Amino acid sequence: MAKSLDPIGKLLGLRHKAHPWHGIDIGNEAPEEIVCFIEMVSTDTVKYEIDKATGYLTIDRPHKFSSILPALYGFIPQTYCGKRVGKVSAKTYGRVDIIGDGDPLDICVLTEKDVAHGDVIARVIPIGGFNMVDGNQADDKIIAVLKDDAVYSHYKDVSELPETVINRLKHYFLTYKGMPGEVVKKCEISKVYSREEAQVIINLAINDYKDYIERIMFE
């Protein structure tokens, strides 16, 4: 089970809003059950992401085409896509140039409910993920279901999901950055991995985060 990395931060959180990346506890049941931060919902027409310095949601860019996000989207607090996660992708793709993207681990959350907006936290169950690279950077996408969701919570592994759900998620991540006449970094998804493999990736990202925090504390 994962333990809170920062008890002092918990005390400060009684007086100050917690930073979504650093101040929200991933949960004591991680990686089997985790708390995640939702940045975007399916109806968003712009791409939101967390500003790492302030913790506020910022507009990254508008969607110029009809890219419909087929799930809630956000990240897992107190994780970091660093050298450990990067090594898994490098081995999977048979490449030596792949590194972690330096961001918290991304997550897609499946639910039957309409969630009106992002900037919320959710308790979810990881059931698999995508081994994805963006250029030469590991950019894994964990796939989870909202805990106690009436439709999706009975899915225990990504292999049980309808193929259409997986294809929609794949299509979004492989195409949403594309612009006519514009050269973009090549995104690839080489593998859809299981619940157990997703838990391994989450644990690696938790350890990468610990290394990241130690590094910035002593810079």
The answer on pLDDT for 3 being more than 60 is no
Question: Is pLDDT larger for residue 39 or for residue 67?
Answer: 39
pLDDT of 88: 98
pLDDT of 46: 84
The fourth-level CATH superfamily of domain 7-217 is Inorganic pyrophosphatase (3.90.80.10)
The answer on pLDDT for 185 being more than 90 is no
pTM of the predicted protein model: 0.90
Structure confidence at residue 6 as a pLDDT band (50, 70, 90) = low
CA distance 32 to 43: 28
CB 47 within 8 A of CB 40: yes
The answer on pLDDT for 66 being more than 80 is no
Task: Give the domain ranges of the chain.
Answer: 7-217
CB 111 within 8 A of CB 145: yes
CA distance 33 to 27: 7
**Run of H or E including 172:** helix 163-175
pLDDT of 64: 65
Structure confidence at residue 47 as a pLDDT band (50, 70, 90) = confident
Average of pLDDT values for 97-112?
A: 98
pLDDT of 180: 54
Average of pLDDT values for 175-182?
A: 66
DSSP code of 210? H
pLDDT of 33: 99
The answer on pLDDT for 4 being more than 70 is no
Structure confidence at residue 60 as a pLDDT band (50, 70, 90) = confident
Q: Any idea of the CA torsion for 86, 91, 96, 102, to the nearest 10 degrees?
A: -10
Question: Is pLDDT larger for residue 68 or for residue 192?
Answer: 192
